[in-house]
């Protein structure tokens, strides 16, 4: 009998790990709830996993169990570090082989190496690469020699590699008798049930079932793919951009499945730049996964993979104002409040708040990345730390530029609808004023009913002057 150890591959579709094990006969599917995932983060005084992602993960584990049960199987759930639980189970069930997904980031690799080292002598292991669009073994250039810049890498891959076919979903799963255990509740992991903020873009609930439903709704029912590129920089509502990221991050959706659905859509409906662009974005995701294999722990260094010699500030008070959405710069605050209230933020928002932290406040980008790690429902180590390093000017594709959050706000939120959605205290201000409330003198503040320092924070920095300094320094 073999063990299938589920990790960030919480799905039955296109899951080679599960399919290969099931082909060999009886299997014991296992998920370990690792207490380290819920412990305190290294940088900030926060849990590594915030409440929205914790809930999403438990949803996904419950959904996986239900799907396995529907095929005659089950999912054994144990709390504890995988390097203890998996070898114990291998010994108890006299397992021939443990099948598992291998992952690129350092902590995940350490865990799998520890599992391998602790397995009983009679138990073998098989690792599978199952979370990217292109398989690591199909890259035209070996992963440790790939280009550090996205565009040449993407072009080479598009020209010289092909995406493998998806793996069929097993129709039946046969499991031994076992004490399958309970999926812990959120409360048992120390969380209150997170409130659902009606203002959020989507109520993100985990699991393969919900992930596939989201794809069906967004792509097929609401027919959004045909306009994806044109709308993906949006900030409000569930239609701009796919919102597939939490399901991709937990492995509830396979990128190959998404690509196949895009191809089907292109055949049945329309094929245009917008439809291609979703696959293009999945390539960005792949790129950061492969970069992590290439550079390893260097991704977590302050100077990043470029070894930039930059002294970062460590001002805790300023950082806390940024994190709480209390900077007094509305576009930054609205995005941070959305993140705090829902676990999600648009890509446009992420770029802007990251640039504000690192370019305007010059605070250590790793604090920002750790904050996102805790808060994001779609946290993925490679996408998160890779994008943060990029924004901070120390990573892949980094240029020495910055985002001017004021012009970005005026460009992407011209009527201040987004800002006032998350900062209702500014709702009565005209759009131009809502983006720059500090321009109001005391009289105008009184007339408009928004007193800075009382109803909404005074700006923590003279941001217009700061952008002049940054522009002059170039
Ligand atoms: C500072 C910062 C931190 C980020 N942290 C994360 C993270 O922890 N997890 C995460 O999945 N994404 C992260 N991103 C990338 C991106 O913001 C999100 O993937 C995207 O906003 C998710 O929304 P969506 O699924 O609607 O995206 P869509 O626009 O619909 O894109 C489709 C998919 O492509 C992938 N993708 C798109 N853009 C990127 C990108 N820049 N890098 C990597 N993959 C991308 C995602 O898997 C996404 O689901 C980060 C970006 C920034 C600037």
384 lines ligand 1 (CB under 6 A): yes
Whole-number Å distance between alpha carbons of 32 and 127 = 17
Identify the CATH number of the domain defined by range 208-295.
Answer: 1.25.40.80
Whole-number Å distance between alpha carbons of 175 and 73 = 5
Q: Where are the domains of the chain?
A: 2-130, 208-295, 301-474
Ligand 1 centre distance from Cα of residue 383 (Å): 7
Beta-sheet pairing, 124-128 with 27-33: unpaired
Ligand 1 centre distance from Cα of residue 378 (Å): 8
376 lines ligand 1 (CB under 6 A): yes
Identify the CATH class of 301-474: mainly alpha
Question: Burial level of 260, CB count in 10 A (0-12/13-18/19+)?
Answer: middle
Identify the CATH class of 2-130: alpha beta
What does the pLDDT average to over 234-260?
97
Residue 310: count of CB within 10 angstroms of its CB: 15
What does the pLDDT average to over 109-114?
97
Residue bearing the CA closest to ligand 1, atom 26: 243
Whole-number Å distance between alpha carbons of 273 and 281 = 12
pLDDT given for residue 41 in this prediction: 81
Whole-number Å distance between alpha carbons of 251 and 107 = 17
Q: List pLDDT tens digits, range 212-233.
A: 999 999 999 999 999 999 999 9
Testing ligand 1's pocket by substitution, the residue of 378, 397, 398 carrying the most ligand atoms inside 8 A of its CB is 378
CA distances from 392 to 2, 53, 360 (A): 45, 25, 11
Residue bearing the CA closest to ligand 1, atom 37: 281
242 lines ligand 1 (CB under 6 A): yes
What does the pLDDT average to over 277-293?
98
277 lines ligand 1 (CB under 6 A): no
User: Which of 40-49, 295-304, 354-363, 421-430 is least confident?
Assistant: 40-49
What does the pLDDT average to over 379-389?
97
Ligand 1 centre distance from Cα of residue 85 (Å): 32
Residue 32: which H helix or E strand, with range?
Answer: strand 27-33
pLDDT exceeds 80 at position 474: no
Ligand 1 centre distance from Cα of residue 346 (Å): 8
What does the pLDDT average to over 160-165?
98
What does the pLDDT average to over 438-457?
98
Looking at per-residue confidence, does 259 or 46 come out higher?
259
Residue bearing the CA closest to ligand 1, atom 24: 243
The neighbouring-strand residues paired with 127 are 100
365 lines ligand 1 (CB under 6 A): no
357 lines ligand 1 (CB under 6 A): no
Ligand 1 centre distance from Cα of residue 234 (Å): 13
Residue 42: count of CB within 10 angstroms of its CB: 10
> Which ligand 1 atom sits nearest the alpha carbon of residue 379?
8
What does the pLDDT average to over 61-72?
98
Ligand 1 centre distance from Cα of residue 347 (Å): 6
Cβ contacts of 203 within 8 Å, gap of 6 or more:
196
241 lines ligand 1 (CB under 6 A): yes
pLDDT given for residue 44 in this prediction: 62
Whole-number Å distance between alpha carbons of 241 and 52 = 20
75 lines ligand 1 (CB under 6 A): no
Residue bearing the CA closest to ligand 1, atom 18: 347
**Fold agreement (208-295, 301-474):** no
């Amino acid at each position: 009998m073999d063990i299938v150890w589920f990790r960030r591959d919480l799905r039955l579709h296109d899951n080679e790990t599960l399919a290969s094990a099931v082909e060999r006969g009886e299997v014991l599917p296992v998920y370990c709830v690792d207490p380290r995932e819920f412990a305190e983060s290294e940088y900030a005084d926060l849990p590594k996993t915030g409440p929205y992602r914790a809930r999403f993960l438990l949803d996904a584990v419950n959904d996986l169990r239900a799907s396995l049960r529907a095929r005659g199987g089950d999912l054994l759930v144990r709390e504890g570090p995988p390097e203890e639980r998996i070898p114990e189970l291998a010994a108890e069930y006299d397992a021939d082989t443990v099948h598992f997904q291998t992952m690129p980031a350092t902590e995940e690799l350490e865990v799998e190496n520890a599992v391998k080292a602790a397995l009983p002598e009679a138990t073998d292991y098989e690792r599978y690469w199952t979370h990217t669009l292109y398989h690591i073994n199909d890259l035209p250039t070996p992963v440790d020699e790939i280009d550090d810049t996205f565009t040449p890498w993407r072009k080479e891959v598009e020209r010289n590699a092909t995406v493998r076919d998806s793996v069929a979903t097993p129709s039946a799963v046969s499991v031994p008798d076992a004490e399958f255990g309970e999926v812990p509740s959120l409360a048992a992991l120390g969380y209150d049930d997170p409130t659902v903020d009606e203002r959020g873009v989507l109520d993100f609930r985990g699991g393969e079932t919900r992930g596939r439903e989201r794809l069906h709704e967004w792509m097929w029912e609401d027919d959004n793919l045909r306009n994806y590129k044109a709308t993906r920089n949006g900030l409000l509502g569930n239609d701009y951009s796919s919102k597939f990221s939490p399901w991709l991050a937990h492995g509830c959706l396979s990128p190959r499945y998404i690509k196949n659905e895009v191809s089907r859509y292109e055949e049945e409906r329309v094929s245009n730049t917008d439809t291609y662009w979703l696959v293009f974005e999945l390539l960005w995701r792949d790129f950061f996964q492969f970069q992590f294999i290439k550079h390893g722990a260097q991704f977590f260094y302050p100077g990043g993979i470029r070894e930039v010699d930059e002294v970062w500030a460590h001002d805790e008070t300023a950082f806390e104002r940024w994190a709480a959405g209390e900077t007094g710069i509305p576009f930054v605050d609205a995005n941070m409040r959305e993140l705090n209230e829902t676990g999600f933020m648009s890509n446009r928002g992420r770029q802007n708040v990251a640039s504000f932290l690192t370019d305007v406040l010059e605070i250590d980008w790793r604090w920002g990345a750790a904050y996102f790690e805790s808060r994001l429902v779609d946290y993925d180590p490679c996408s998160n730390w890779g994008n943060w390093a990029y924004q901070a000017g120390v990573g892949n594709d980094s240029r020495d530029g910055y985002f001017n959050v004021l012009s970005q706000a005026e460009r992407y939120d011209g009527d201040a609808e987004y800002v006032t959605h998350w900062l209702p205290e500014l709702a009565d201000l005209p759009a131009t004023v809502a983006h720059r409330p500090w321009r109001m003198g005391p009289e105008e503040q009184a007339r408009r009913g928004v007193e800075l320092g009382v109803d909404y924070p005074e700006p923590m920095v003279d941001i217009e002057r700061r952008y002049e300094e940054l522009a002059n320094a170039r």
